[in-house]
Amino acid sequence: MIVRPRTLRPSPPVRHGGLSLGLVIGLGLVAVLVIALVMGVGAYNGLASKKQDVTAKFALLDSQYKRRADLIPQLVETVKGAANFEKSTLEAITAARASVGQVKLPADATSDPEALKRYLDAQNQLGGALSRLLVVAENYPELKATQNYLSLQDQLEGTENRINAARSDYVTSVQIYNTKTVTFPGSLLAGMFNFQAIPQLESTTPAERTVPKIDFGASGTGG
């Protein structure tokens, strides 16, 4: 019996190259997904953080407006003591303060353009009435000499300065937030998660653009 040697068939080549390429592609896709996820989370957190900052800045501005409104009754009572003080001026500032109190702001007024406009219109009217009252008061030397009036002047001046600073901070905060909603990658998420642009704190008419200016330099307060 003749035994023929068995022919050994060569083993199929191991496709190291194919596996490596697939692995590289897979890892690349994972890396892209991870980067996209990190960028998405960062963009979302950035939008949320800036939105909260806008809300906080608006709250500070609102608190200063409220402080000014709280000083009005004391000012009205003080100037009533001056003989023949213009009744129309007192009525105007009283009505303007009442209008401010009637404005009802939603929980997030910064996202409600109409509510924000009503709020600002009322504050502008109150500021204008306050300025007129103080101008008229300059014609009453006996009123300007009272300690109570001088104290209110100082408080109103400080409040007006804080209002201006708070307005500036709010405008800057809104600008930063709105920029994030329209630039990459925030623009991709703004629509998805309802991060809408916030109306800027600016006026549409010359009268509204005028921030009430209170100058007590000539009042003789020494401050």
Domains of the chain: 39-209 (1.20.1440.20)
Cβ–Cβ < 8 Å for 116, 106: no
pLDDT for res 15: 54
Q: How confident is the model at residue 70 (pLDDT cuts 50, 70, 90)?
A: very high
222 has pLDDT over 60: no
Residue pair 166/172 in contact (Cβ under 8 Å)? The answer is: no
Long-range CB pairs of 174-178, under 8 A, 24+ apart, other chains included: 174/54, 174/57, 174/110, 174/198, 174/200, 174/201, 175/200, 176/50, 176/53, 177/47, 177/50, 177/51, 177/53, 177/54
The torsion angle over the Cα atoms of residues 89, 95, 98 and 104, rounded to 10 degrees, is -120
Q: Taking a C-beta distance cutoff of 8 angstroms, is the pair 32, 39 a contact?
A: no
How does pLDDT run across 175-188, given as a tens digit for each residue? 999 999 999 889 98
Over residues 73-101, the mean pLDDT reads: 91
pLDDT score, position 211 = 41
When pLDDT is cut at 50, 70 and 90, the band that residue 1 belongs to is low
pLDDT of residue 130: 95
CA dist., res. 179 & res. 173, Å (int): 10
- Sign, Cα dihedral of 38, 42, 48, 49: positive
Residue 114 has pLDDT above 60, yes or no: yes
Query: pLDDT digit string (tens) for 197-210?
Result: 888 876 433 333 34
**Angstrom distance (rounded) from CA 72 to CA 155:** 11
Q: Give the model's confidence band at 218: pLDDT under 50 very low, under 70 low, under 90 confident, else very high.
A: very low
3-state secondary structure string across the chain: CCCCCCCCCCCCCCCHHHHHHHHHHHHHHHHHHHHHHHHHHHHHHHHHHHHHHHHHHHHHHHHHHHHHHHHHHHHHHHHCCCCCCCHHHHHHHHHHHHHHHHCCCCCCHHHCHHHHHHHHHHHHHHHHHHHHHHHHHCCCHHHHCCHHHHHHHHHHHHHHHHHHHHHHHHHHHHHHHHHHHHCCCHHHHHCCCCCCCCCCCCCCCHHHHCCCCCCCCCCCCCC
pLDDT number for residue 109 = 83
Percent residues over pLDDT 70 in the chain: 82
What confidence tier does 20 reach under pLDDT thresholds 50, 70, 90?
Answer: confident
